[in-house]
Structure 1
Amino acid sequence: MSNRSFAILGTGALGGFYGAKLQKAGKDVHFLLNSDYDYVSKHGLVIESKDGDFTLPQVNAYNDVEKMPQCDVVVIALKTTQNHLLPQMLPSVVRDDGVVLVLQNGLAVEEEVAKIVGNVNIIGGLCFLCSNKVAAGHIRHLDYGQITLGGYANDYESTGVTHYMQQIANDFASAGISMELAKDLLLARWKKLVWNIPYNGLSVILDARTDELMSYVHTRQLVEQLMHEVALGSLSCGRIIPDSFIQTMLNYTINMKPYRTSMKIDYDERRPLEVEAIFGNPLRKAHLLGVNLPQISCIYQQLKFLDEIRRVEVRDLNS
C-alpha cells in the first residue's frame, strides 16, 4: 500500500497544515471542512510557514463525510469537544484494516475511537506544532511541527514500533514533517501533558502567552510544579517521566516564539474548551489508581467554571 489515501477530519490549524503538506508531497488527500468549505472548495489552501510558504489552488474539499471516499488513513484533527460526532463520521470513511490516526490532545482519546470502529489499526499522534488559522483556508505555521506516533492496544499496552507506524511516519517524513516513533503510547501521551496541562490551563486562567508565563518567577514556578504533578500522574500508570524531560520542556518553551495556546485561542473565540480530554481524563485515571493531583484539580475546576460561563454567554447571544 505505497500510495495511501488520506482523509483529514478537521481542516483547521493542525489538520489543514499537515494535510496540505501531504498533498504538496504528492499524496492523495481529502479534506472535511465546516465553516470554510465554500471558500476552500473554490480557492484552496494557503500555508504561511517558517519552512516556506505555499498555496494549493485546488484541494479535495467536502462538507459531508458521506461524500468522501473510503481512505487508507483517516486523520482525526478535530478538537476533542467534537468527538461526539465521530460515530457518524468514522465508519463510512475508513477502510477495513485501514488506519485511524488520532492527532488530538489529552488522554484516553484512542479508547473512544476503539469503541466506534473495529478491524482498524489505531495510532495516536502527539503534535508539537505552533500554528494558527488566521482566515478561511489560510494557516500560519509559526514554529516546530514534529509528530510523535504510538500504536494503540487495549488498556494502552505497549505495542512497540509497528509496521503501520513506520509506513505512516515515512509518508509524513516525505512531506517534510519531522517524525518520532514511540514504543509506548501511554507514556508519550503523559509526556505531552507535561506541556499541555500547565501552558493551556494557565494561559486561559491568567490571560497570558507562553513567553509571559515564563518571564515571571512565580508563574514559572507554578508551571514547573504542575509539570512535576503530571509526572506523578504518569507514575500512577506505571510510566516514569524523568526530571530531565521536564527541564527540556521548560527550555523548549523559553526558546519558542511567543505563543497563544490553542486553548487560549478557543477561549478568546468563545469556543468550547478541551477541559475533559486534557485535564479531566488524566485526573480520573490517577484517581482510580489512588493518586490525587491537587494542583491540576484546582486548574481543572477553574477551567470548568470559565468554560461553563462562556457557554452560557454564547447561548444567550445566539438566543
Structure 2
Amino acid sequence: MAPNVLLHGVGAIGAIYLHLLLKAGCRVTAVCRSNYDAVKANGFTIDSVLYNTKDVHVKATDVVRSPSEAAAHGPFDFLVVTTKALPDAKTAAAIAPAVTDGKTCIVLIQNGVGIEDEYVARFPGNPLLSCAVYLPSTQISPGRIQMGNQELLEFGTFPDTAYDDSAAVKAAADSWLEITKKGGSNCVFQPNIQVQRWKKLMLNASWNPICALTLSRDVAFYLATDVAEHVVLEVMLEIVHVAQALGFSEITPEMTEKQIGNARKRIPGPGIEPSMLVDVLNGRRMEVEAIVGHPVREAKRLGVSVPRLETLYALAKALDDAIAFRKPGQSLSGDYKRV
C-alpha cells in the first residue's frame, strides 16, 4: 500500500516535498492556508534551477484547510510540518486531530533549534524526525513556486538515541529515507541531527536577522561597509561557542569561513533573501525565537557571552512585535496589548 502522508502548511518548501513525495508514489494530502483557493483549483506550478525545469504542474491527492479536515483522509504514516516555527502557533496542538497515536511519524522540516519539545510532550508515543533543510525557494504568488539550485534534507530521530532504542522509530526513519530518495530528494540520515541544526544556525542566526533589520539581501549588506564581514563572522562564532558548550565539538570556528565564503561567491550578483527578510517585506511574523531567542537563552544558561546575538535578538524581537501589533502608518506604542 502506498505511504499516506499529510503535509501541514504547504508553501514553497512544502510544495517541493509534495512534488518529491508524489514522485515516490505516496498519497499526499496538503494542508494549505492563504494559498488554499489557488492550490485547490490549480495545484502548484514549480520552476526549478536545480532540476532545470519550468512550469511543472503538481497536484496533491487531496487539498484541505486544516488538520481536522485532513483527518478524514487518514490514518497517516507520516505527518510533515513545513510551517514556520512560531511559538504562538501551537502547531503540535493544531496537528493533533490528524495524528494516530503510536502510528503517525511526525517530521519537522523547520528552521531553528529547540523546536521539538512541544511535539514530544504532545505525542510521546509517536516517532519524531527532525530535519535541517537547505532548499532556496519562494512562493512568488499563490501556488507558483520558484526553486533555486539546491535541495538537501538532513534528518535524524529525536532524541538521537531513539533510532537505536526503538524498533518503531528506526523503522519510521528508514522508511522516510527510502521514500524521499525514491522521489529524488538528496536526503541524508544524520545520527546526531542536532549538530546539523546548530551548524545551519551559523547561517540562520547571523544572516536572517541582519538582512531583516537592514532590509538588504546578504550581498548588499556585505558590500555596504568594510566591517560587514567581521560583524557576520563574529555572530557565527558566538553560535559556535554555544554549540561547543552544549557538547557539539564537531562545530568549529573554521566552519565560519566556509559559511561566509558562500556569500562572497554571490558577489557581484543580487544575493539572496533569507526567510526573515522575506517575512518583513510581506508583513509576516518571523521565527525570532527558534533562530535567535533559543540560542541566546541557552548561552545564558551555560554562561557563554553572546553580546552580538543578544543585540540581534532584542532588535529582531522588537521588529517582530511591531509587525504584529503596530497600526498602519504608526510606530509601536509602549502600551500596546500583547496577545
Written as runs of structure 1 = structure 2, the 5 A alignment for 1:69-148 is 69-81=74-86, 84-95=89-100, 96-148=102-154
Listed as ranges, the gaps of 5+ residues in structure 1 are: none
CA distance in 1, matches of 2:262, 2:174: 26
CA distance in 2, matches of 1:164, 1:83: 29
Against the structure 1 CA distance between its residues 314 and 171, is the aligned structure 2 distance closer, same or farther, given a 3 Å change threshold?
farther
Task: Describe the shift of the 1:173–1:4 C-alpha distance in structure 2 as closer, same or farther (beyond 3 A).
Answer: same
Shift of 1:246: 2.0
Structure 1 pair 147/219, CA: closer, same or farther in 2 (3 Å)? same
Q: Distance in 1 between matches of 2:227 and 2:297?
A: 28
* Superposition TM-score, scaled by structure 1 size: 0.91
* Cα distance change, pair 202–128 in 1 and its aligned pair in 2 (3 A): same
Local SS of the residue matching 1:42: helix
Deviation at 1:59, TM superposition (A): 4.0
State whether structure 2 residue 243 is matched by structure 1 residue 243: no
Deviations 1:267-317 (A, max 9, x none): 111111111111111111221122231110110011112112222235789
- Aligned 8 A contact 2:108 2:129 in 1: yes
* 1:61 aligned residue: 63
Query: Does residue 261 of structure 1 match 2:274?
Result: yes
Q: Residues 268, 172 of structure 1: CA spacing in aligned structure 2 closer, same or farther, 3 A cutoff?
A: same
For 1:90 and 1:193, locate their aligned partners in 2 and report how far apart those are by CA, in whole Å. 26
CA contact (8 A) 1:107 1:282 kept: yes
Partner SS, residue 136 of structure 2:
strand
Which residue identity is paired with 1:31? A
Distance in 2 (CA, whole Å) between partners of 1:181 and 1:292 is: 33
In 2, are the aligned partners of 1:20 and 1:56 still within 8 Å (CA)? yes
Give the secondary structure class of the aligned counterpart of 2:195.
Answer: helix
For each residue in 1:46-96, what CA deviation from the matched residue of structure 2 results, as whole angstroms up to 9, or x when unmatched?
111111231025641001312212211111101112663424432221232
The answer to whether the 8 A contact 2:87-2:289 is kept is no
* Cross-structure match for 1:168: 176
Q: Counterpart of 1:242 in structure 2: which amino acid?
A: T
Closer/same/farther in 2, CA of residues 162 and 44 from structure 1, 3 Å limit: same
**Given the alignment, which residue of 232, 238, 242 partners 1:233?**
242
**Unpaired runs of 5+ in structure 2?**
331-339
Q: Deviations over 1:14-55 (max 9, x none)?
A: 112211221133221110011211221111111111112310
**CA pair 207-170 structure 1, distance change in 2 beyond 3 A:** same
Q: Which moved more, 1:106-115 or 1:255-264?
A: 255-264
Counterpart CA distance in 1 for 2:241 and 2:322 is 31
2:193 to 185, 189, 192: 185
Structure 1 residues 250, 166: CA separation in 2 closer, same or farther (over 3 Å shift)? farther
Q: Indicate whether 1:270 and 2:283 are aligned.
A: yes
Contact 1:107 1:278 in 2 (8 A): yes
CA contact (8 A) 1:283 1:292 kept: no
> What RMSD in Å do the two structures reach over aligned CA positions?
2.2
Q: Distance in 1 between matches of 2:88 and 2:178?
A: 27
Deviation at 1:266, TM superposition (A): 0.5
Secondary structure, counterpart of 2:151 in structure 1:
strand
Q: Is the 8 A contact 2:162 2:170 kept in 1?
A: no
Decide whether the 8 Å contact of 2:67 with 2:96 is kept in 1: no
Query: 2:237 & 2:161 partners in 1: Cα distance?
Result: 24
Shift of 1:109: 0.6
